[in-house]
Structure formats: structure tokens, C-alpha cells
Structure 1
Amino acid sequence: MIYKIRVFLDSKEDVFRDIEIKEKQTLFTLYKGIISAFSLQGEELASFYELDEEGDQGKEIPLEDMSDDGTDETMADFYIKEVFSEQGDRLMFVYDFLEMWTFVAELVSIEDKPAVLNYPLTVYRFGSMPLKAPKRELEIIDLEGDEDIDFADDAGLNDLQIDDDLDLEDL
């Protein structure tokens, strides 16, 4: 079986690639396909994240095992058919944790056709890659309370006041 996965760049402009991959290849192979399809350097750390139906991020599947004892699962431990079981299944892919290139990979179709070339194979390209990673809205969850802090609207940050009770001589 050949899986067609559409990988979207999280940006204002539409930028995506369709990648075909064999069901018995791993997420590491898909990682290599994404790096190639989007002309990324491939020298940075990356992770896939499970996404639920609402788009909430779940379990991390990293490129490399970062545990002390070497027992954590990595991209090489998951077959495509395990993580993409039906059409519409999605994973988030984050490349370069400093720049935060963020993508969503979605299973578009599963086709019973013979493999013709080396996979993964980029079969469709739409849009141009920006030179820099698109900025994302940063949302920090307040673990103490029930409110989310949304930094997309930073008006509240500009209204910070210095505490009048602060005695600078005590510093």
C-alpha cells in the first residue's frame, strides 16, 4: 500500500507538498521526505506530535532518543501504517526548535498500487517556502488558574506598572 500524505506549512500563505510513502516505511523516512520536499537543511532536531480530532497536541515522537538510558521511542520505531490508520489522520511536525518550522501532515489517501520508484516521493508541490520560519502565535497556559495568556494581543504587556511599594534601595 502507498500512503499519500499532504504536509502543510503553518503559515498565512498556502504552502504544501504531497508525499507518497510505503506503509511499512517509518516516520523517520517521512521526516527525510519532508526535509527534501521543503528544501530544509536536515541538520536540526525535529519531532512529530500526535494530534487529536480537535487539533490538540499529544504524544511526542522525537527524531532522536534523548533519554538517559536510551529506551525512548523515536521516529524510526513507528511505521506509517501505525500512525496513519485512516484518511484524515494528522500529525504535527516541528523542525528546528529555535526557528520552529511547524507543519501538519495529513493522510489524504491509501492506494493499492505497485511501488514504482524510491519512496518517499514528492508528487505535488504548491507554494513557495519562505526564507524564514513563519511566526506563530504564542499561547502560554496558566497552570495555576483557568485562563490562557494569549501573546498575540500584547497590549497587556505594554501596560506593566512598576510596583509603588518597591524600595530600590533594598536591592
Structure 2
Amino acid sequence: MIYKIRVFLDAKEDVFRDIEIKEKQTLFTLYKGIISAFSLQGEELASFYEIDEDGVEMKEIPLEDMSDDGTDETMADFYIKEVFKLQGDRMKFVYDFMEMWTFVAELISVEDKPAVLNYPLTVYRFGSMPLKAPKRDMEIMDLDGDEDIDFAEDAGLNDLQIDEDLDLEDL
């Protein structure tokens, strides 16, 4: 069986790729397909995440085993048919934890057809890949426990206001 997975970049503009992959290939192979389809360098850490219907992360499946004893599961341990069981199943994919390239991979079809080329295979491209990862709103928990801090909302101060607030005579 050949699985067709649509991979969306989490961005304002529509950017996605359709990737075909064999059911007995692994998430590691899909990772390599995403890297190729989106022209990413492939030199950074990455993880897939199982997500629920609301997009909440459930389980992380990393590129590499980061445990001390080497017993954690990685992308190479999961077959495509195990994680994408039904049409519409989705996984989150994050590449480069500094830049946070974020994608959603969705199973759009399963076809019983003969394999014609080397898989994974990018069969459709839509949209242009931005040069930098799209910015995401970040929330950080207030350590005092009062409330979450949303930098998108609380970034009300700009450089001019900060300069006005400084009393240069006190320096």
C-alpha cells in the first residue's frame, strides 16, 4: 500500500507538499521526505508528535534517542501504517527546536498500487517555502503562579518607551 500524506507548514500563507510513502516505511523515512520536499538542511533535531482531534500534543517521537540508557523509541521504530491508521489522521512535526519550523502531516489517501520509484516521493508542491521559520506566539508560565504571560499581547513596550522611562541622571 502507498500512503499519501499532505504536510502543511504552519504559516499564514498556504505552503504544503504531498508525499507518497510505503506503509512499511518508518517515520524516519517520512522525516527524510519532509526535509527533501521543503528543502530543509536536515542537520537539526526534530520530532513527530501524536496529536488529538484538537491538536493537543500527546506523545513525542524524536529523531534520536535522548535517554541515558538508549531505550527510548525513535522515528525509526514506527511504521507509517502504525501511526496513520485512518484517512484524516494527523501528526505534528517540529524541525529545528531553535527556529521551530512546525508542520502538520495528514493522511489524505491510501492506494493499493505498485511502487514505481524510490519512496518517499514528493508528488505535489503548493506555495513557496519562506526563508525563515514563521513566528509563533509564545506563552510562558508566570513563575509566581499568577497567570500565563502572552508575549504577543504583553509586548506593549517599544524601544522609545523604554528610553523615555530611563532617567539618565541616575546612571
The verdict on a shared fold, with TM-score over 0.5 as the criterion, is yes
Mapping of 1:28-39 within 5 angstroms?
Answer: 28-39=28-39
Give the whole-Å Cα distance in 1 for the aligned partners of 2:104 and 2:123: 17
Once the 2 structures are TM-superposed, how far is the Cα of residue 53 of structure 1 from its aligned partner? 0.6
Mapping of 1:39-50 within 5 angstroms?
Answer: 39-50=39-50
| CA deviations over 1:35-86 (Å, ceiling 9, x no partner) | 0000000000000011101110111000000000000000000000000000
Residue 146 to residue 113, structure 1, CA distance change in 2 (3 Å): farther
Once the 2 structures are TM-superposed, how far is the Cα of residue 19 of structure 1 from its aligned partner? 0.2
Residue 144 to residue 111, structure 1, CA distance change in 2 (3 Å): farther
Equivalent residue number for residue 120 of structure 2: 120
TM-score (norm 1): 0.87
Once the 2 structures are TM-superposed, how far is the Cα of residue 111 of structure 1 from its aligned partner? 0.8
Equivalent residue number for residue 166 of structure 2: none
Give the letter aligned to residue 53 of structure 2: E
Residue 23 to residue 56, structure 1, CA distance change in 2 (3 Å): same
Once the 2 structures are TM-superposed, how far is the Cα of residue 146 of structure 1 from its aligned partner? 8.6
Give the letter aligned to residue 105 of structure 1: A
Equivalent residue number for residue 92 of structure 2: 92
- SS, match of residue 32 in structure 2: helix
Give the whole-Å Cα distance in 2 for the aligned partners of 1:47 and 1:21: 18
Q: Percent identity?
A: 88
What is the RMSD computed on CA atoms of the aligned residues? 1.9
Give the whole-Å Cα distance in 1 for the aligned partners of 2:20 and 2:96: 23
Once the 2 structures are TM-superposed, how far is the Cα of residue 87 of structure 1 from its aligned partner? 0.7
TM-score (norm 2): 0.87
Equivalent residue number for residue 54 of structure 1: 54
Q: How many equivalent residue pairs?
A: 160
Unaligned runs of 5+ in 2: 162-171
Equivalent residue number for residue 20 of structure 2: 20
Greater helix proportion: 2
Mapping of 1:141-152 within 5 angstroms?
Answer: 141=141, 147-152=147-152
Residue 130 to residue 71, structure 1, CA distance change in 2 (3 Å): same
Once the 2 structures are TM-superposed, how far is the Cα of residue 153 of structure 1 from its aligned partner? 1.1
